[in-house]
Amino acid sequence: MERKKMKAGFLKFIVNSWPPLFFAGIKVTYLAADYREAHVTLKLRWYNRNYVGVQYGGSLMSMTDPWYMLLLMHNLGSNYFVWDKHAEIDYVAPGKTHVHAHFKISDETLAEIREKTANGEKYIPEFSVDILDDHDKLVARVKRRVYIKLKPRARAN
């Protein structure tokens, strides 16, 4: 039995109120009703700058943390295990302004995941997201891998 999906606007409110993101200055500015896309902003504030006055690297990584996992969970449903597995970041330039990241899941990606996990195999796709400043300059590129596996109760065999 499939669980009812939480409305995107309500999840956006919850996430924006969650202390680890709220107090870091991280905010979801857009979450699609179908959970296929999310836009996240990290504002540069006095309390989240690093020693040299630019975006703190830990906050840059944190702003990318839950998004691919959450988008996939809501699109694949409760018949799948979905977990963040690995992340790496390449710092390209100092973040001297607010920064933004856009996350998107395509129909093709979902179809590939369903195909690769249909018989109970685990699948670990890699997603890449660019963190851009207010001038659309690349600040960092983050690669995230997500563990996905169809739960035994949902397998055909």
The total domain count for the chain is 1
Q: What is the pTM of this model?
A: 0.91
Q: Is residue 88 part of a domain?
A: yes
Residue 130's domain comprises 8-154
Q: Are 35 and 70 in contact (CB under 8 A)?
A: yes
Per residue in 37-91, pLDDT (tens digit) is: 999 999 999 988 999 999 999 999 999 998 999 999 999 999 999 999 999 999 9
DSSP assigned state of 52: T
- Tell me whether residue 2 is in a domain: no
CATH number at residue 63: 3.10.129.10
Residue-by-residue DSSP string for 99-147: EEEEEE--HHHHHHHHHHHTTS--B--EEEEEEEETTS-EEEEEEEEEE
Is 3 a member of any domain? no
The answer to whether 143 touches 125, Cβ cutoff 8 Å, is no
